[in-house]
Amino acid sequence: MNNKVIAIVVTFNKKKLLLNAIHGILDQSNLPDEILVIDNNSSDGTFELLSKENFIGDIKNNIPNKFQVFSKKILSNTNKVNFNYFKNNKNEGGAGGFNLGVEIATYLGGNLFWLMDDDGVPSKDCLKQLIISKTKNNLDMIGPLVLDIAGSDKLSFGINGHTSIDDDFDDIIFNKTNLFNGNLFDIAVFNSIGNIKKEMFIWGDEVEFMNRMILNKINFATCTKAKFYHPLNKTSYDSLFFGLIKNVPIKPENLQMVFYRNQGYIKSKYFSRYRTLIFAIKMIVYFLFKGNIKSTKNFVLYYLDGVNDNFSRPIFLITK
């Protein structure tokens, strides 16, 4: 069976960065067959900018009614690529966007899905190297090495203990990857273990899917010859009591409980009761020490929600 590669880009209010991502895809030495942009209801004029750049076409009618996708053939070098744009009616975060992207890409007939955020840009031969490595090593999923887009020698997230491009890498690192940053998935992965858990919104969906892949013995790796550029990880960490309590993850206040809820889900589903409890105690002690009773209460509620697979509470909190 011939492979049909669909690049899936999820965007929200980053129209200029999105253009960089699109042009990075169109500049590939091995082009994908189609590009699919999932717009999480952007309000910054994303649709208008894509129209101005001649990416928006007529509505594609062979998609089910809930998926009214604007589709157009565009020329890249000497090849034509089908460009698809779908605007969601609400912001469902990266998790919901990728979930929807995989669903639509399946309807479009794809069997290899290349997933990335709007603030990432692949190197010119990224897709080529991923396909070569995936085929050579008989993998279900292959990811690139994710580098700081600002041009430093740092890796955006680190991998397998490596934090810098100056480190000595093997060509391939098995069972390690930075998910949803230019990763190439065989459709068989989703057919086997299900789609990305859209309820998680952000900050944890990649960890949950990784644990699901490991649990189900999906063959995956990172190809260090394939490069993908992305901003550095913005998660900050705090500590208390001279390091007795350390590595406390801190997220933006209005969205931090989403992260802690997702941690509750991941730790209770994939790790021991001990680790689930220890993380809860660490965060409760942290918030109490900081004198933040409201955050302590919210943490308990959201963390227990995650443990109980309950994703019904509000995503964004009013913090003032």
Query: Same domain, yes or no, for 288 and 205?
Result: no
Q: Residue 192: pLDDT above 70?
A: yes
* Cα–Cα dist 146/164, whole Å: 10
Query: Same domain, yes or no, for 34 and 119?
Result: yes
- CATH number of the domain encompassing residue 148: 3.90.550.10
Query: Same domain, yes or no, for 143 and 285?
Result: no
Q: Among the three residues 191, 210, 230, which one is the final residue of a domain in this structure?
A: 230
Predicted confidence band of residue 319 (pLDDT cuts 50, 70, 90): low
Query: Same domain, yes or no, for 226 and 243?
Result: no
Q: Among the three residues 230, 265, 282, which one is the final residue of a domain in this structure?
A: 230
- Token pair belonging to 92: 């469902």
Cα-Cα-Cα-Cα dihedral sign, residues 89, 94, 99, 104: positive
* Cα–Cα dist 7/101, whole Å: 9
Query: Same domain, yes or no, for 121 and 258?
Result: no
For the chain, the average pLDDT equals 93
Identify which has the larger pLDDT, 236 or 40.
Answer: 40
Query: Same domain, yes or no, for 250 and 226?
Result: no
Q: Residue 120: pLDDT above 70?
A: yes
* Cα–Cα dist 118/69, whole Å: 18
- Token pair belonging to 195: 């789609």
- Token pair belonging to 150: 């600002």
Phi/psi of residue 22, each to 5°?
Answer: -60, -45
Query: Same domain, yes or no, for 161 and 199?
Result: yes
Query: Same domain, yes or no, for 42 and 148?
Result: yes
pLDDT of residue 320: 53
Q: Residue 142: pLDDT above 60?
A: yes
pLDDT of residue 9: 98
pLDDT in tens, 301-315: 999 999 999 999 999
Residue 314 located in a structural domain: no
Q: Among the three residues 214, 230, 246, which one is the final residue of a domain in this structure?
A: 230
Q: What integer is the mean pLDDT of 51-75?
A: 83
In angstroms, what CA-CA distances link 9 with 35, 109, 127, 293, 301? Answer: 8, 17, 14, 39, 33
* Cα–Cα dist 167/184, whole Å: 24
Query: Same domain, yes or no, for 160 and 279?
Result: no
pLDDT in tens, 276-297: 999 999 999 999 998 899 999 9
* Cα–Cα dist 24/18, whole Å: 10
> What is the number of structural domains in the chain?
2
* Residue 115 belongs to domain spanning: 5-230
Residue 93 located in a structural domain: yes
* Cα–Cα dist 245/279, whole Å: 10
Residue 272 located in a structural domain: yes
Q: Residue 209: pLDDT above 60?
A: yes
Q: Residue 249: pLDDT above 80?
A: yes
Q: Residue 260: pLDDT above 60?
A: yes
pLDDT of residue 253: 86
Query: Same domain, yes or no, for 77 and 197?
Result: yes
